Chain A
Amino acid sequence: MTVRALPVGDRALLVELDSGEAAQALHAELLRRRAAGALTVREIVPAARTVLLDGLDEPGRLAAELPGWEVPPVATRTQEAIEIPVRYDGPDLPDVAALWGVPETEVARIHSAADFRVAFCGFAPGFGYLTGLPPAYDVPRRPTPRTAVPAGSVALAGPYTGVYPRASPGGWQLIGTTDVVLWDHTRVPASLLSPGARVRLVPVTGRGDGAVGPS
């Protein structure tokens, strides 16, 4: 594992890795160590290729120790998946099909076949950046962002799939819709998705056809 630990102020470290997979593996290891009481830190924030540790007493000591850690790769397919029913009815479905070079009807099959993982959250509370689609299916953002993307929109940008927790502006390619509530601050946990979670998108047709989201 190639690890670069960059100081961020006096109480934080930005740990940079050489891939998204390595960042996810380190994130899982950090959570294990924190749960075991071996690490005291206020925030562990994974992102595309980094993990930020904020609120450390001795960032220098951790920076020195990190390269010596044994970090196992993330366990795939052992963890139970959160299922999100998706209607593949987004307005950008034709554009995505063209970018992928497949018929429109194939997009749902290809997309829902992926074994997704929440690489990180950001942009809005409960917005997860899901990875798992093969790199051949990366797509650019829309050239002009939409001023309003409806809540529950399932969207693609770069290597990521995301679901908009609430209506907001956005530049991602919209391929579908879900009725699952991604964020509800009165629920525990408030966020359906958290970094490291495994996710399956289940194609459904029509509204309220019996597909059940996780409670």
Chain B
Amino acid sequence: MSDRALAVVRPGALTTVQDLGRPGHAHLGVPRSGALDVPAAALVNRLVGNQPAAAVLETTLDGCAVRPRATVTVAVGGAPCPVSVDGRPAPWGAPFRVPGGALLDIGAARSGVRAYVAVSGGVAVESVLGSRSTDLLSGLGPPPLTAGAVLPLGRPVGAPARVDLVPQPAPPAELVLRVTLGPREDWFTARAVRTFTTRAYRVSSASNRIGLRTEGPALERALSGELPSEGMVLGAVQVPPDGHPVVFLADHPTTGGYPVLAVVRPADLPAAAQAAPGTPVRFVAVRHR
């Protein structure tokens, strides 16, 4: 067989197809979705000669295994992990060839959470509203990978990058998130705001593509009651009634009724995507630009 496709052998805990997402449809209730660690996805695409908008695989903690039906160029980045082709070690963070029919195995993350796997030509599943991303909140896009599924690949458009190894940021030992306070800071007591910006939190194991959940001191409200639904942005720190801050990631709902205490700087969100459960988190207040 020499058709351009990937057969899924081991889907892993959660492996999804991701690209740059589908921003611009929030007014219809459509989340933006897309790769959580955007720089890692962009890097592996560049390494195999893909355009930045090509779709890649995003794994969660334990990797995945796929069998390309044609010879392809592959690059793996994001969370550091062992990579092998038919049982022989292959590089991480650099492009390599996988012969048609060989087994490409992405092992469990040594640190971090999400590995990104780019294949020359990109994953070419059906596009929905301009994106091939799996959106776990709304169900748009392809379902998460399952054993036996076959993913079509596009035609390669560029040559792989000529590099030995490119530096990538290490997953954070401590996740420091710079935040601007508001828009609903006034829904919290002054003490809660101080607690939020000075105390230590940890990444909760209940985190997912919708939000990075945290464990730590609960934040006390100054106002009770419900906030009428309002629009939500990527990086919004929403505080549900249990008082534990949730940082909205790519599959976040477009509107919500819990007050947003602060918003994380977009540049700090890729690190949030790689912060494993238990990682210490600090929120540092910065001024609006």
Contact = CB atoms under 8 A, between A and B. Distances in A.
Given A50-B231, A54-B231, A126-B29, 18 more contacts: A6-B182, A8-B183, A8-B260, A9-B236, A10-B289, A12-B233, A44-B27, A46-B27, A47-B229, A47-B255, A49-B230, A51-B231, A52-B232, A120-B27, A120-B229, A166-B139, A185-B129, A195-B27
Contacts of B228: 47-50
B260 A185 contact: no
A123 interface: yes
Contacts of B288: 7, 10
Interface of A: 6-12, 14, 42-52, 54-55, 120-127, 129, 166, 185, 190-191, 194-195
A48 B229 CA distance: 6
Contacts of A50: 228, 230-231
Contacts of A129: 229
A46 B232 CA distance: 11
Contact of B29 (A12, A49, A54, A124): A124
B265 A190 contact: no
Nearest to A31: B27
B263 A9 contact: yes
Given A14-B231, A122-B229, A194 B183 contact: no
A55 B180 CA distance: 16
Nearest to B141: A185
A9 B230 contact: no
Question: A50, A120, A122: which has the most chain B beta carbons within 10 Å?
Answer: A122
A45 B27 CA distance: 5
B37 to A, nearest CB: 19
B81 to A, nearest CB: 32
B235 A124 contact: no
Contacts of A51: 231
Interface in B99-148: 128-129, 138-140
Contacts of B140: 125, 185
Interface residues of B, number: 34
A185 B29 contact: no
16 contacts: A8-B182, A9-B263, A43-B24, A44-B27, A48-B228, A49-B228, A51-B231, A52-B26, A55-B23, A122-B255, A123-B255, A124-B29, A124-B138, A125-B25, A125-B138, A185-B140
A9 B28 CA distance: 22
A45 B234 CA distance: 13
Contacts of A49: 228, 230
A7 to B, nearest CB: 5
B12 interface: no
B212 to A, nearest CB: 16
B267 to A, nearest CB: 10
Question: A9, A10, A49: which has the most chain B beta carbons within 10 Å?
Answer: A9
Interface string B276-289: 00000000000011
Contacts of A8: 182-183, 233, 236, 260, 263
B30 interface: yes
Given A7-B182, A10-B180, A191-B28, A47 B129 contact: no
Interface string B24-63: 1111111000000000000000000000000000000000
Given A8-B236, A185-B129, A190 B26 contact: no
A120 B232 CA distance: 13
B11 interface: no
B253 interface: yes
A196 to B, nearest CB: 9
A106 B247 CA distance: 46
